[in-house]
Structure 1
Amino acid sequence: MTHIDYYFSVLSPFTYLAGTRLEEIAAKHGAEITYRPFDIMAAFPRTGGALPKDRHKSRLEYRMQELKRQRAKVDMPINFRPAHWPTNAAPASYAIIAAQNAGGGDLGALTHSILRACWAEEKDIAEDDVIREALSGAGFDPGLVESGLLTGAETYGANLERAVDSGVFGAPFYITDQDERFWGQDRLEDLDLHLAGKI
């Protein structure tokens, strides 16, 4: 079975704009996904990038133009300047890790629900009640928000190290078991073609 390591940040608008297309592509090709939320703010300076607040004006302007274009392509609601951004990404990331370990629900739906809460619903995804609602809606025990914190923290940190070691420098980032790397939600079509053996 083909395997995809999915590196993402719950703070990333481009990860939000990916929607559930990764899950649809994986299902189409019978691929398995390992969800690896990581601290993208810590990764940027380690991989040649800069924190958003430290970027040149030209990069920030381009980012906004690109967000508007990408949003229009997928016709998804988005607040380009959400009320609770940036926020602490760790609690939601820990919950996704705990849910992956527990199984029994829809991990793609959980991840997208958390991203949508931040980027379209003006919710603070660092708050337990917001995370509980996302867990429950995706078929997981909402109590996962309070359990597995140590494992979540350890895995979250390990995901960052693995991301840096694997060549990840942004989000979303997809790596197949053949070490084919795809950066950005706008490369999902390429991932689809790769899994089909066309590129």
Structure 2
Amino acid sequence: MNDKTIDYYFWLNSDWAYLGADRLQGIADKYDVAINYKPVDLPDVYARTGGMLLHQRSPERQAYRVAELKRWCRKLGIHINPHPRYLCPNADLASCMVIAASQSGADITALYKAILRAEWCEDQDISSDITLIDIANKQRLDGQALVNQARTPQILSLYRQYTDEAVGCGIFGSPSYVFQDELFWGQDRLDMLEEAIQRAG
């Protein structure tokens, strides 16, 4: 693996990925580290690693998630709605569209952040073709072409590959970062990821 690369595994429904997105990019820019963006099918990851989807968790765990989100939003100065209108819809198409954009050579940083923002800040349904096309078009990408490409066997195969890779790396949640074979889970571990990059020189 390239010593100057972060493998970034994330779910396109991940509120925590949204909270960490700008800081991750800032770390990569500061140390001239490349990011490999790898959207994953988190429900499949959960099924294979013992995780539970939000609606399956106990009321106590769900309440604590909201409390933690509010704390982190205050700390970071970022607003999200813990209970958006469309909470965690199917993210397969959104994930594959981001992969398709990456394969076409586009800078997908703004695209994936816009998709996350659409769900957590703008009450949009990111499982909708219409929503995703509009988001991509606003990023000056060809939304319809990306949605079409997202449904091709090549892109679907990459999506499955990234999901399998994630499980193989020991990943069980989103966002997760792998640097020099070391796994960091959660945006609250970005400081430790940065320290690992510093140590690597």
* Structure-2-length-normalised TM-score: 0.91
1:75 is matched with 77
1:133 is matched with 134
What's the CA shift string for 1:71-129, capped at 9, x where partnerless?
111111211111111211011101100011001x3311111000000000011111223
What's the CA shift string for 1:31-70, capped at 9, x where partnerless?
1111111111121131122222222222222111111111
1:155 is matched with 158
What's the CA shift string for 1:127-179, capped at 9, x where partnerless?
22322233233343322111242222111111111111111010000001x11
3-state SS of paired residue (1:23):
helix
Percent identical residues:
39
Write the distance in 1 (CA, Å) between the matches of 2:22 and 2:141.
18
1:23 is matched with 25
2:171 is matched with 168
Cα distance, 1:196–1:138 mapped onto 2, change above 3 Å: farther
3-state SS of paired residue (1:62):
helix
2:111 aligned with 1:117: no
Write the distance in 1 (CA, Å) between the matches of 2:91 and 2:32.
30
Write the distance in 2 (CA, Å) between the matches of 1:121 and 1:33.
26
Partners of 1:6 and 1:34 within 8 A in 2: yes
Cα distance, 1:107–1:89 mapped onto 2, change above 3 Å: same
Q: Which runs of 5+ in 1 are unaligned?
A: none
Write the distance in 2 (CA, Å) between the matches of 1:147 and 1:51.
28
The runs of 4+ residues in structure 1 deviating greater than 3 Å are none
3-state SS of paired residue (1:140):
coil
3-state SS of paired residue (2:64):
helix
Structure 1, 13-22 or 2-11: larger mean CA deviation: 13-22
Write the distance in 1 (CA, Å) between the matches of 2:170 and 2:130.
34
Residues matched between the structures, number = 197
* Structure-1-length-normalised TM-score: 0.92
